[in-house]
């Protein structure tokens, strides 16, 4: 039987190692990606509008991987 002390919610921690990792990796990857597009990626001349869609999808994938790495880190640290 659960008592009232078992039902107390845990305090929410907004800043965790996973959120720091996700934020930093997202910022670094976005900076590197924009540097690549500014200096090396001249795909719009070759592929036109299709390049914009592919570049957007690649950036969204990088963002998703960054968030998942942070969530995985929080999960692993929570199991310890």
| pLDDT (0 to 100) of residue 3 | 65
| pLDDT (0 to 100) of residue 71 | 94
pLDDT digits 0-9 by tens, 28-61: 988 988 888 787 767 667 777 787 788 889 889 9
Question: Cβ distance 5 to 61 under 8 Å?
Answer: no
Rounded-to-integer distance, Cα 15 and Cα 22, Å = 11
Please indicate whether residue 11 or residue 17 has the higher confidence score (pLDDT). 17
| Element of type H or E holding 33 | helix 17-39
Domain range summary for the chain, segments of one domain joined by +: 17-79
> Taking the model in full, what pTM does it have?
0.70
């Amino acid at each position: 039987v659960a008592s009232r002390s078992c039902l107390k919610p845990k305090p929410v921690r907004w800043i965790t190692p996973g959120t720091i990792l996700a934020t930093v990796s997202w910022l670094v990857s976005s900076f590197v990606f924009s540097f690549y597009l500014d200096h090396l990626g001249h795909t719009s001349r070759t592929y036109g509008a299709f390049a914009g869609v592919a570049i957007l999808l690649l950036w969204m994938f990088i963002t998703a991987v960054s968030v998942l790495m942070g969530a995985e880190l929080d999960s692993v640290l929570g199991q310890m």
